[in-house]
Amino acid sequence: MSLTDDLNEPLSDAEVTRRKLLLALGGGALAAAGLGAAITTLEYMKPNVLFEPATRFPVGRPEEIAPGSVLALPRQKVYVVRGPAGIYAMSSVCTHLGCIIQHRRAAGQKEGFFCPCHGSAFDLEGKVVGGPAPRPLDRLDVKIEGGKLVVDTQKKVPPTTVLEV
C-alpha cells in the first residue's frame, strides 16, 4: 500500500461512494442557495403595500342618521354625532396619550366619551370635562358629496364646526 495517491490506479468502491456523496452534497448546497436567491428576488419584486383604512370615506346619507345618535366607526377611529345644530365627526383618539375613547350613555350620567386609560372625559361635543386630556377631541371635516356624508380624517376643523343638514 502506497502512502501517496496514484491517480492512475482504479478507484476503490469506497472512494467512488465518497466522491458521489461529495458531489451530491455540493450540488444540493448549490441548489438550496439558488432556491433561496430566487425566493428572495421574487419577494423583493412583490409590492410592499400596507393596507390601512381610507382617510376619506362615506358614512351614509345624512337623513339616515337619526337626531341625537352617535355613530361609532372603530376601524376609522371616528365618531359621527348628530346634535341639535347638525352633524359633526370627531376622532376617537384621546388627546392625552392616544388611547381610543368610548362612548358613554349610562343612566344618571351625562352622555359623552370616556377614556379607559387615565380617565379623561369629554362631552358629546368633544370638550374636555375631566381627566388629564389637554385639549378637546379633534373635529374632522364632514361634507356632503353625491348625497352622502363624507368624512376626511386628514382634515381637522375648528372644534365648533357643524354641518347643518
User: Which residues, in sequence order, are bridge partners of residue 113?
Assistant: 103, 122
Nearer Cβ to ligand FES (86/132): 132
Angle at 99 between CA 97 and CA 104, to 5 degrees: 125
Angle at 50 between CA 78 and CA 102, to 5 degrees: 20
Cell numbers 469506497: residue = 14
Residue among 75, 118, 143, 155 flagged as catalytic: 118
CA–CA separation, 140 vs 150, rounded Å? 10
Please report, as ranges, the residues that interact with ligand FES according to CB under 6 A: 94, 96-99, 115, 117-120, 131-133
Q: Which is nearer to ligand FES, 76 or 95 (CB)?
A: 95
Residues 94, 55: Cα–Cα separation, whole Å: 18
Is 118 labeled as catalytic in the residue annotation? yes
Give me the least distance between CB of 33 and ligand FES, in Å please: 50
CB of 83 to ligand FES, least distance (A): 23
Q: Which is nearer to ligand FES, 76 or 92 (CB)?
A: 92
Minimum distance between the CB of residue 101 and ligand FES, rounded to whole angstroms? 7
3-class secondary structure, 95:
coil
Catalytic residues: 118
